[in-house]
Amino acid sequence: MRFLLLVVPCLLALAVPLFNMTSPELFGIPFFYWFQLLLILVSALGIYVADKIGKA
Amino acid sequence: MFDHLNVVASIVFVFFFALVTVLGFVASRWKSADLAHITEWGLGGRRFGPWVTWFLLGGDLYTAYTVIAIPAVVYAIGAYGFFAIPYTIIIYPFLYVTLPRLWSVSQRHGYMTASDFVLGRYGHRPLELAVALTGILATMPYIALQLVGLEKVIAALGFSGQGMMSHAPITIAFVILALYTYKSGLRAPAMIAFVKDAMIYIFIIAAIIVIPYELGGFGAIFAAAGKAFDAKIAAGAAATPAVKVAAGLTLLPQQVWPYITLAIGSAMALFMYPHAMTGVLSASSARAIRFNTMTLPAYSLTLGLIALLGLMAIAAGVKVGSPQDAVPQLVLWAFPDWFAGFSFAAIALGALVPAAVMSIGAANTFTRNVWKPFINPQITPHQESVIAKLVSLIVKIGALFVIFFMPTQFALDLQLLGGVWMSQIFPTIIIGLFTRWFSGTALFAGWAVGMLVGTSLSWTATAWVPVHALKWDIPLIGIVDTHLGVAVFNGLTAVTCNVVVAALLSLVIRPTGKDETSPADYLD
């Protein structure tokens, strides 16, 4: 579980064909841009949760 | 020289510069200790808690050059410049797993540099030296590029000069920086980083609200940028001879693999740089490092927004000779003079913090891993501190000379090669944190092969280029074609060769050097 929380965001970030497109847009921002920006937060959250699980 | 000076912006700029100069000198008394000891001067006594480390590493890694160069690429060709985002996404989960181990073993054995760890782990002098020299070699042009970032904003203030005088402002800035780094060591950039990072955040929040408002929203910005890229491609096709322009709001098919591999390769290289190691090893606990792998992404988000400034510059109609002027010109277009001065000061301080940490990292490495083993093995920690301080001065003067006497393109090329080179010590360091199966001699051979492959792949008759098709013309062998039809980042190709060579040779040559670490040393 911890492993997945760390690895999945990385794989998503490298799966470029999945997000190399303009739609759907968010506040006028093409998918390519907002998806990657959002993934920064998701990845950081993944590390945080993995860390919490590890300490428990 | 001062005819076109933006007076208001310049006053604000100079005010903030003066403020951090005072801080830089005052920093010598912060967490006060004997600065004549190298661990105090060069690592802040390993006493920086989670937050100080956050500011220091953030200020250290997300540099002025980045703030100028990433949006410059986005301004010029669009989506491709966004590779910095996947790069900074994949790096932190990886660091969460690896860096606490490095910190723990370094703290137990008093290691100050990556090469210290390599010597302790493998007991192999040539490998230690290879790691040290790779770091120093890659750091020098990186410091020089911070000066380029600094010069861009000073030029935007309206300062212009002839010949040597054109470099006067950065010379003054760098001499001041050199003096307080000499006096206060790592404490100076750590303290200045607080101011710099706060200013960068204020700048980017204002930019991301004000500029889209002025330009009619993000929809309008992306539409204008898309149109500009289409026009660029059409102009290229119409030119004689026709030029294929690879630009757009999304990646073209041939850009996808370079984008992915550049992200992976850059991530492998980043924490191998001496200045990143210095930032990590100055933390007070493994806990502080883990905390930072969760919180440093805040800077990545900022970097992503800064990258978008490149597109905003297009939409704002900013026309520049060099794409690197896009952000400074956009700032002048969007903000009142006083806030432009504030923003430029933020970017300029973004050059000083990394330049200071880089020179300290390079100085620590030179002193511990070149001077000590080869010149004076009996050196005391106090003598080490004297040498390191002098080297930090020499490194900065060297960077100034690079800017004075070499074409900027040369520094850019070297920086690009720096990424390729730094990733060649990745196997030695990272594999070494988990296993001692690889032998020092095999890793040394792998490093040599990787350096050679990476450098030769990057060389073309016209320019140094970071990516190469998976089809090679190898001397004595001939043309080898993988028929995959894709191009990848040379650092990644080279490091693959590096690991294969190291693994195969390790089967034959078993480790002989002494390993002074034990498995428990890596746990906190």
Q: How confident is the model at residue B93 (pLDDT cuts 50, 70, 90)?
A: very high
Q: How confident is the model at residue B402 (pLDDT cuts 50, 70, 90)?
A: confident
What residues of B are in the A interface, CB distance below 8 Å?
79, 82, 85-86, 88-90, 92-94, 96-97, 217-222, 249-251, 256, 259-260, 263-264, 290, 293-295, 297-298, 300-301, 304-305, 308
**pLDDT exceeds cutoff 80 at B407:** no
CB contact under 8 A, A40 and B304: yes
CB contact under 8 A, A44 and B82: no
Query: Cα B211 to the chain's mean position, in Å?
Result: 28
> In the prediction, which pLDDT does B116 show?
93
pLDDT digits (tens, 9 = 90+) for B323-362: 888 999 999 999 999 999 999 999 888 888 899 999 999 9
pLDDT digits (tens, 9 = 90+) for B26-45: 888 887 777 788 888 888 88
The number of beta carbons lying within 10 Å of the beta carbon of residue A24 is 9
Q: How confident is the model at residue B2 (pLDDT cuts 50, 70, 90)?
A: low
State the complex-level ipTM.
0.94
Read off the tokens for B73: 């690429």
Please tell me the distance from the alpha carbon of residue B469 to that of residue B457, in angstroms, as a whole number.
Answer: 9
Please tell me the distance from the alpha carbon of residue B339 to that of residue B206, in angstroms, as a whole number.
Answer: 10
Query: Which whole number is the average pLDDT over B264-274?
Result: 91
> In the prediction, which pLDDT does A2 show?
85
Q: 3-state SS of chain B: helix, strand, coil percent to 5?
A: 75, 5, 20
What residues make up the domain containing A33? Answer: 2-55
**Taking a C-beta distance cutoff of 8 angstroms, is the pair B75, B310 a contact?**
yes
Q: Which long-range contacts (CB under 8 A, 24 or more apart) does B379-385 make?
A: B381/B37, B381/B38, B381/B39, B382/B36, B382/B37, B382/B38, B384/B38, B385/B35, B385/B36, B385/B37, B385/B38, B385/B40, B385/B41, B385/B42
Question: Which residue of chain B is at minimal alpha-carbon distance from A13?
Answer: B86
**pLDDT exceeds cutoff 80 at B501:** yes
Please name each of the domains of chain B with its CATH number: 7-408 (1.20.1730.10)
| DSSP conformation class of B430 | I
Mean pLDDT for all residues in chain B: 88
Q: With CA atoms as reference, report the closest residue to B402 among B243, B83, B171.
A: B171
**pLDDT exceeds cutoff 90 at A13:** yes
Interface test with A, best of B77, B85, B204, B266 (most A CBs within 10 A): B85
pLDDT digits (tens, 9 = 90+) for B149-185: 888 888 888 877 776 677 888 888 888 888 888 888 8
Query: Cα B89 to the chain's mean position, in Å?
Result: 16
Please tell me the distance from the alpha carbon of residue B324 to that of residue B341, in angstroms, as a whole number.
Answer: 18
Total structural domains in chain A?
A: 1
Residue B242, SS3 per DSSP: coil
The number of beta carbons lying within 10 Å of the beta carbon of residue B416 is 17
pLDDT digits (tens, 9 = 90+) for B441-478: 999 999 999 999 988 888 876 777 778 877 777 776 77
Please tell me the distance from the alpha carbon of residue B157 to that of residue B319, in angstroms, as a whole number.
Answer: 17
